[in-house]
Amino acid sequence: MRIKGGALIVGALAVALTAAGCSETTNDGGGGNSGENKTQTGSISYEAADNTGPAKAVEGATKGGTLTIMQVADLEHLDPARNYVNVASLTGSLIYRALNGYQEDGSGKMLLVGDLATNPGTDVNKDCKVWEFKLRDGLKYEDGSAITSKDVAYGIARSFAPELNEGSHYIQGWLYPGGTYNATYKGPYEGGQMPQGIETPDDKTIKFTFPEPHCDLPYAAALPVTAPVPQAKDTKANYDLKPFSSGPYKVKSYTRDNVLELDRNPNWDPNTDPIRNAYPDAFKLTFGLEAQQISERLVADAPADQAAMTWQDAPPAVLPRTTAAGVVERVVKGPTQYVWYLGINNQRITDKKVREALYYGVDRDAALKAIGGSAAGTPASTLMSPTTAGFQDYDVYNAPDTGDVNKVKEILGGTTPPPLVLAHTNTALRTAQAEAIRASLEKAGFKVTLKAIEATSYYDEIGRKNTPYDIYLHGWGSDWPTGSTIIPPQYDGREIVDEGNYNLAYFNDQSVNTEIDRIRKLPAAEQDAAWMALDKKILQDFLPEIPLYYDATYVLHGSKVGNAFLSDSYGAFQVAKVYVKP
């Protein structure tokens, strides 16, 4: 999952969650590293009590009020087929429900349970190839019509459409293995009503049949792509603006880059929902604010901002004021499962020596100081986060955190490196970070031009195969805590498509692709070490991109925001159980 904050990680498949992780990130700022990377514990639960609504009440919580979320930039996508940034997924979880979801209480323990489904899924033949989900009774859309399994299937079918390709691709790739997931079936708009391997024998049942075992389907079924979309309400690209509600809130109004207002869905039944309490009467997301402005307002805690929060990390200028009495209690912080990279376009920078020179030329320390120093994270040397199951620390290149100009000169041997274009989002903090990286690379002999891109279209721009940029900032974490949700999405060259790429290095090596296939077939207990070994091989033999730092988050909220905690499943401030104090 892409990030503006964090995500989730899972250890032994279908048994334990061993960390916090998700996928890509657009976390614009600060961070809040409380020290060691924590390890969460949890499990998949089939217990009736865990899978039955309503969600467990929060002690002292009150119903009512409007919770305001102040942000620098609008969400990239709200359509569940395209939603793959963590804070957009959090917002989407208020509007629509997936087959599965996570129960959290801030303790670090997570339970994967059925959301629309009565439980996390049935492994029909006990071989992880055929999975069946039964929908709950009483599920309704915002207009009172019934939610059906056919709507879930149609929602997944939409995600094959080339024009709606920014969401997660696990289920699609498992249905069509061995290459580009939508090479043959391109969604319902091009004649094919339903992808192979999906059946809906009745309105309450959806069945998946995969050519190969996928014991982690229950986790993939918790991603937005399994949210129901009734075909009659499908507005294609415009669905981004007003998804049809199956959750506790519906879109009241949405003005891009300005404000998104959510009010209650009167047909949501809390007795069908074991995850969301939905205490506030409404949510109001405001966009276009500066990071410093947001944090200063939340520090000041004026009456108009007391029922407000943000997913925007506090910037360096405000961090010292967040430790004062009356403010420090309103900080939500912690390490996340994300790693930030200096992405390298391997289509344009084909010489590994140049990539090695970039590795030694970049100043990780300066990149972190630009957005909050140690509060923003810690320097990275691996592709996967320390929160990932089976993580082993290593450092192939042993570059100083501040860079090594002499090593760059040695690698280049007197040759002049090509001029580079460094892309970044146009927010103040990412611009400052990009400038720090540019300065360090120019000190090492590179000529670098900065290119600012609107934050709302950033991943769309660098995710195009023909993107004109040489290097760029991006982040990635696990959708559940194994390397299978980090290495294949980012480094399997067979998954490179024209648009909507997660392999932002545009890296394609047959030996790596073959090893990915081999590891996927290993017993679950052997996969963690194998993914870590491949992590090291990719960096050592190819260096397709540069790990910059392991991410942390550090955000503020107003004094009337209750039950504030960091979601381990998203790596950001949770919204399912938050409430407004009277």
**HSE toward the beta carbon, residue 546, CA cutoff 13 A:** 29
Pairing of strands 308-309, 471-476: unpaired
Long-range contacts of residues 495-498, Cβ cutoff 8 Å, at least 24 apart: 495/169, 495/173, 495/180, 495/181, 496/180, 496/465, 497/162, 497/165, 497/180, 497/182, 497/465, 498/162, 498/464, 498/465, 498/466
3-state secondary structure of 373: helix
For the chain, give every domain's residue range.
1-107+260-582
pLDDT at 13 over 90: no
As a whole number of angstroms, the distance between CA 262 and CA 128 comes to: 38
Q: Which of 388, 571, 385, 550 is nearest to 482 (CA)?
A: 388
397 pLDDT band (50/70/90 cuts)? very high
Average pLDDT, the chain: 92
Report the pLDDT averaged over residues 465-493: 94
1 pLDDT band (50/70/90 cuts)? low
pTM, 2 dp? 0.88
Q: ∠276-228-254 over CA atoms, to 5°?
A: 70
pLDDT in tens, 79-132: 999 999 999 999 999 999 999 999 999 887 889 999 999 999 999 999 999 999
CATH number of 1-107+260-582: 3.10.105.10
Between 478 and 231, the more confident residue is 231
2 pLDDT band (50/70/90 cuts)? low
As a whole number of angstroms, the distance between CA 7 and CA 5 comes to: 7
pLDDT at 20 over 50: no
Q: Which of 464, 547, 546 is nearest to 503 (CA)?
A: 464
pLDDT in tens, 504-553: 999 999 999 999 999 998 988 899 999 999 999 999 999 999 999 999 99
